[in-house]
Amino acid sequence: MKASLRQQFERLALRLSELDATLADGNIAAEPKRFRALTKEHADVSGLVDRFRRFEQRERDLTTAEELLGAEDVDSEMARMAEDEIEGARTEMNDLQRELQAALLPRDPDDDRNAFLEIRAGTGGDESALFAGDLTRMYLRYCEARRWPTEVLSESPSELGGYKEIVLRISGDGAYGRLRFESGGHRVQRVPATETQGRIHTSACTVAVLPEPDAAEEVKLNPAELRIDTFRASGAGGQHVNKTDSAIRITHLPTGIVAECQDDRSQHRNKAKAMAVLLARLADKERAERSAREAATRKGLIGSGDRSDRIRTYNFPQGRLTDHRINLTLYRLQAILDGDLDEVIEALQAARAAEQLAALESGQG
C-alpha cells in the first residue's frame, strides 16, 4: 500500500478518536440531528479503520512467515506452514487493499438519485430521429431488466418514426449513478432503410442524463423569472389530452432554459413534472459551469459533461460498438441495443474509479 494511502487511513484513525470523545459527551444527545450524523460517520469510519488495522496485522504476519521461511534451520513442515501463511496473508491483503481503496474514492451524492434522460436527434435528418428511437428502446429495455419504472415526460415524434426529442424520467436506486456516463454524442453508422444504393450513412444524437433534484433541497425559483405556457399535447396521450390545453411549458427567463411536460391529463401534475425537469437542467448548468472552472487545466477521462463530444459509435455493418473515452470495442451490437448495457457501463465506472484512485494516490483527491 502506498504511503499516501496509509496517511489517509491514519488520519481516519485520528478522526475516529475524536468521534469517540464527542459521542461520549452526554450533551450531544440533546442535538438529535448532529448526533445522528456523528453516529453514522462513526460507523463508517470505524469500519474502515478496523479493516486497515486488519491489513496491518496481516502485513506483520506476512513478514514473520517470510522470516521463518528464510531461516537456515527451518524444517520441511514449518516451511510448508510458512508458505501457507504467506499465501493466505497476501490473498487477504490484496482483498483488503481493494476494499479500502474503493472506500476512499470520492462518491457523488447524486449517484443514488432518480434520473431524467433526454435524447435529441442531431445531424442526419430522418435517420437521426430513427436512431433516437433505437436509443430510447435500448434504455427502456435496460431499465426494464433492472425493474426501474420509467415514464415519458415529453416527446416530439418524427414523421417516419423515432423521435426528434424525448425526455424520460427513470426511477430506481442508483439510476443516475449507472446512467450518468451516457451523456454525450452518440454516432450511428449504417445503411438507412430509405437508402436505395446501399451506402452507409453516419448520423448522430445527443443524450443528456440529469439527476432528479431532491425535493427537500430544491433551489427556490423567483416566480417573476418564469414564463408558464399551456398548450395542447401533440403526442400520444388519449383523446382527453388532445382536447384540452393540459400540456405545460416553463421558461426560465434569465437563462432561456425550457422544460415541458405533456404526458398527464392533469395540468397541475404536468406543471410539477416540468418544474422538476427545469430544476434539474438548471442544476446541471450550474454543475457544468463549476466543473469548467475547477477543471479548466485538464479534461477528465469520463463524465466531463461536454455534450458535443462524440462518446460512442454504433457501427451496424460490423456489429460493433466503440466507446471512445476508454477505447472499449465490443462486437455484440444487437445485444447492447436490446438493453444489455452492463458491460459498457461497468467498464466506464471502473475507468472512473481508476482515475479517482490515481488522483487520490497523487494527493489530488
Instruction: Identify the residue with better confidence: 269 or 315.
Output: 315
Domain boundary among 104, 122, 139: 104
Instruction: For residues 237 and 262, state if they share a domain.
Output: yes
**Can you give the CATH number for the domain in which 179 is found?**
3.30.70.1660
Q: Tell me what pLDDT residue 211 has.
A: 87
What are the φ and ψ backbone dihedral angles of 144, each rounded to 5 degrees?
-60, -45
What is the domain range of residue 11? 3-104
Write the single-letter amino acid at 353.
A
290 pLDDT tier (thresholds 50, 70, 90): low
Three-state DSSP at 125 gives coil
Domain boundary among 104, 133, 151: 104
Instruction: For residues 16 and 99, state if they share a domain.
Output: yes
Is 171 within the bounds of a domain? yes
Instruction: For residues 350 and 243, state if they share a domain.
Output: no
Mean pLDDT on 262-268: 80
226 pLDDT tier (thresholds 50, 70, 90): confident
Instruction: For residues 345 and 270, state if they share a domain.
Output: no
Is 19 within the bounds of a domain? yes
pLDDT at 301 over 70: no
**Can you give the CATH number for the domain in which 31 is found?**
1.20.58
Q: Provide the number of structural domains found in the chain.
A: 3
149 grid coordinates: 419504472
Is 298 within the bounds of a domain? no
Instruction: For residues 240 and 198, state if they share a domain.
Output: no
Report pLDDT digits (tens) over 344-364.
999 998 888 888 877 776 654
CB 69 within 8 Å of CB 79: yes
Q: Where are the alpha helices (DSSP H) in 71-125?
A: 76-104
pLDDT at 304 over 50: no
Domain boundary among 46, 81, 104: 104
Instruction: For residues 349 and 264, state if they share a domain.
Output: no
**Can you give the CATH number for the domain in which 260 is found?**
3.30.160.20
Instruction: For residues 84 and 117, state if they share a domain.
Output: no
Judging by beta carbons within 10 Å of its beta carbon (0-12, 13-18, 19+), is residue 239 exposed, middle or buried? exposed
Instruction: For residues 208 and 152, state if they share a domain.
Output: yes
41-45, 216-220, 222-226, 258-262: least confidently modelled range: 216-220
Mean pLDDT on 177-201: 87
Instruction: For residues 239 and 264, state if they share a domain.
Output: yes
Residue 120 gets which letter from DSSP? E
Instruction: For residues 213 and 314, state if they share a domain.
Output: yes
Is 303 within the bounds of a domain? no
Is 270 within the bounds of a domain? yes
Distances (CA, A) of 259 to 153, 229, 251, 265, 281: 10, 11, 7, 17, 8
Instruction: For residues 213 and 334, state if they share a domain.
Output: yes
Q: What DSSP assignment string belongs to 132-197?
A: HHHHHHHHHHHHHHTT--EEEEEEEE-TTSSEEEEEEEE-STTHHHHHGGG-EEEEEEE--TT-SS
Instruction: Give the H/E segment covering residue 73.
Output: none
182 pLDDT tier (thresholds 50, 70, 90): very high
63 pLDDT tier (thresholds 50, 70, 90): very high
- SS3 for 190-247, per residue? ECCCCCCCCCCEEEEEEEEEEECCCHHHCCCCCHHHEEEEEECCCCCCHHHHHHCCCE
Instruction: For residues 97 and 240, state if they share a domain.
Output: no
